[in-house]
Amino acid sequence: MWYMNEDREMLQKSFHEYAVKRVRPLAQKMEDEDASSREALLEMGRLGMFTMPVPPENGGTGPDYISWSLLLEEMGRESATFGFLTLLRQVFNGPLQVSCSREQIEKFVIPAVNGEILIGLAGNEPAGGNNLFEYQTRAVKDGDEWVINGGKVLVTQADEVDVFMVIALTKDQIDFRTMEGMDVFFVPTSDPGFSVGHIEHKVGLNGSRTGSVYFDNCRVPESYRMPYPMALLMGFGPELSGYASLTLGACEKMIEQTAAYLKNRIQMGRSLWDAHQAARHDLAKLKMEVLNFRNAVYGHMANRNAGIHDSIEAGALKAASGPLMEKVAGECMMLMGGTGVIHETGIEMYYRDAKALEIACFSDKTFVDTVAATL
């Protein structure tokens, strides 16, 4: 492909090896038993896989978004959930570069890049992700410390990160323009006031351990308050293109798996592949769609490498990802017939994961109006 070079070929090979050896055996356990991906994620960090695209002064290897996309693609091939959790490292580690103090970067961000700790986000409340003003979680100043009380829902990796970024109200009224009165704090999960509630059963993305968390008089120093919280919240946008990368991997895997099945499934002495032109063509059409999507994804990543960060473009890729994956999964299940709907075959898992991805981070439906506003 046009975007590959020697470095990226070696990177891709090493990502692929990791995905096959570590993620593949884990994928089914994450799906069936909600098994934790924590150890694998930390190992990836130690292997430098979260250094992209983090700047060198903060422990990174520089801003190559194409290599980062290759990483997500390889993880997405083996598990959409694992790809999603890999993506979150960048969603957090990336925007934190601009929203944190130097002390916070050294205490939390660089260790997270190096796989010493995992950072999570505890943002959402029952009031709704787009309705920050009605949040209940509050932080009150007590001397040099902040005392945090409240709870969050639908938190990814609720029981497996070391530090949460917690969105809390610090004033009675929030300024609608500057967001003054809303702050973000680093809260270590070792705090005696921190506890985990129920882990949810979701339609897909199982193994991401989505659940509720509670803060009961959690105390953190002033230095744990993020100086530029808006930079964090606004910074999530551009990283959305990573959803497209992991989707790409999942779609390619499903198409390969289906082609192999059709070629090996023998009926009356002929393979389904040889016997049915319609089946071959259905799969080839999916392949063309995925190929076009591939060029869109890597075109976007190349733009980022050139310094062009367009969050509408990124959101558009994210919004296209879930439906494409759902379509490929649905078609592949049809082509495989009875085998396709069996859990162990793995295709139906992608089908459900696609649905969950359409809602992860933001619901694709809410994004449409953001685009309308640009017209």
Contacts with another protein by CB under 8 A lie at 6-7, 10-11, 13-14, 17-18, 21, 25, 43, 47-49, 51-52, 61-62, 264-266, 269
Of residues 341 and 371, the one with the C-beta less far from another protein: 341
Cβ nearer to another protein, comparing 67 with 104: 67
**CB-wise, 8 or 219, nearer to another protein?**
8
Q: How far is the CB of 207 from another protein (least distance, A)?
A: 18
Residue 18 beta carbon to another protein: minimum distance, rounded to whole angstroms: 5
Exposure b/e, 100-123, CB count within 10 A at least 16 = b: beeebbebbbbbbbbbebbbbbbb
Close Cβ partners of 157 (under 8 Å, ≥ 6 residues apart): 38, 85, 88, 118, 120, 208, 209, 210
Residue nearer to another protein on the CB measure, 68 or 84: 68
- Residue 286 C-beta: closest distance to another protein, Å: 24
Q: Which CB, 27 or 220, lies closer to another protein?
A: 27
Nearest to 213 by CA among 148, 297, 290: 148
Nearest-angstrom CA–CA distance, 114 and 60: 9
Q: Which of 13, 20, 35 is nearest to 78 (CA)?
A: 20
Closer residue to another protein (CB): 4 or 127:
4
Q: Least distance in Å: CB of 179 to another protein?
A: 35
> Shortest distance, CB of residue 269 to another protein, whole angstroms?
7
- Cβ at position 204, least distance to another protein in Å: 24
Residue 342 has which token pair? 């069996």
The nearest distance, CB 22 to another protein, in angstroms, is 8
- 236 vs 273, beta carbon nearer another protein: 273
The tokens describing 127, both together, are 């009031």
CB of 280 to another protein, least distance (A): 17
Sign of CA dihedral 39, 42, 44, 46: negative
User: Considering all CA atoms of the chain, what is the largest pairwise distance in Å, rounded to the nearest integer?
Assistant: 81
Smaller CB separation from another protein, 39 or 43: 43
Distances in Å between the Cα of 96 and the Cα atoms of 90, 107, 110, 198 are 9, 12, 10, 28
- Which among 173, 197, 194, 198 is positioned nearest to 185, based on CA atoms? 194
Cα 272 to Cα 169: distance, rounded to the nearest angstrom: 60
Whichever of 68 and 164 has its CB closer to another protein, that residue is 68
Strands 145-155 and 211-221: antiparallel
- φ, ψ for residue 117 (rounded to 5)? -140, 165
Closest contact distance (angstroms) between CB of 254 and another protein is 18
Q: Is the peptide bond before 95 cis (omega within 30 degrees of 0)?
A: no
